Amino acid sequence: MTKKRGARRKDLLYLIGQSLLCLFYYPVFRISVRGRENIPKTGPVLLCSNHMAKRDPVMLGVAQWRQVLYMAKEELFRSRFLGGLLRLLGAFPVIRGSGGTDALENAYKLLDENGMVGIFIEGTRSKDGLLQRPKTGAALLAYRTKAPVVPVCITTGDGGLPKKFKRHIINIGKPIPAESLNIKDDSSLELRRASRTIMKEIAVLREETLQELGLPSQAQGAAGK
């Protein structure tokens, strides 16, 4: 099992890239971060976020100072520029049709090294800014590695889809201990139930942000399906 001490050290290139990208992303996307202190400073972490734009991995990478290592779909690496940024920020591809086996093995290894693995729990980008039905990968990783899950919600200033120069608020929630997910086994039923629990926490973060912005509630059923 993972030793619950320390944190995986940042790569030098990651540190340099993170610092430079902060100078661009914070003013261009008007990023505000809430709850940065909720990310454990040591030990393995699963950072689970909603997903609205290709740039989300970079957004989460500059929102806090631990290195985030991502599972990202293989298509994102086809762009030389974006693919280069993703690799710089620690992403590794999931190839469609492979079942994600290689990516999961990478994630197990990184968590065993006290790394922080980022997962977009919906599996694909939202087309309207609303939350979608969660996939089960994060729950499976939590069950097998006992890493805590940190829920994150990215919300724009108008609650819709992201654009340049539109305000982006990244709300980071308190860690969910793997034990509190109460996953009894790795059956589909148990993993779907735990995934809904994680998604409900992300939905709570979204509602908090909408309330802060003075926007109407957009509670919808995807998180509970």
Tell me the two tokens of residue 37.
């202190």
pTM over 0.85: yes
Does residue 149 form part of some domain?
yes
Q: How many independent structural domains does the chain possess?
A: 1
Cβ neighbours of 79 (radius 10 Å) = 12
Place of tokens 């995807």: 222
Q: Which pLDDT belongs to residue 2?
A: 43
Residue 144, in any domain of the structure: yes
Is 139 inside a domain boundary? yes
21 found inside a domain: no
Q: How far apart are CA 225 and CA 222, in angstroms?
A: 5
pLDDT of 1 reads 45
Structural domain range at position 178: 29-53+97-224
How far apart, in whole angstroms, are the C-alpha atoms of residue 6 and residue 188? 33
pLDDT at 112: 93
DSSP strand pairing (68-73 vs 92-94): parallel
pLDDT value for 221 = 46
CA 153-102-91 angle, 5° bins = 45
Phi, psi of 180, deg, nearest 5: -75, -15
Distance between start and end Cα atoms, the chain:
32
Residue 115 covered by a domain? yes
DSSP-derived pairing of the beta strands 149-156 and 168-172: antiparallel
Does some domain include residue 176? Answer: yes
Q: How many CA atoms lie within 13 A of 163 on its CB side?
A: 7
Please identify every stretch of the chain with a pLDDT value under 70, giving residue numbers as ranges.
1-5, 72, 88-90, 95-102, 219-225
Q: Is 138 contained in some domain?
A: yes
73 within a domain of the structure (yes/no)? no
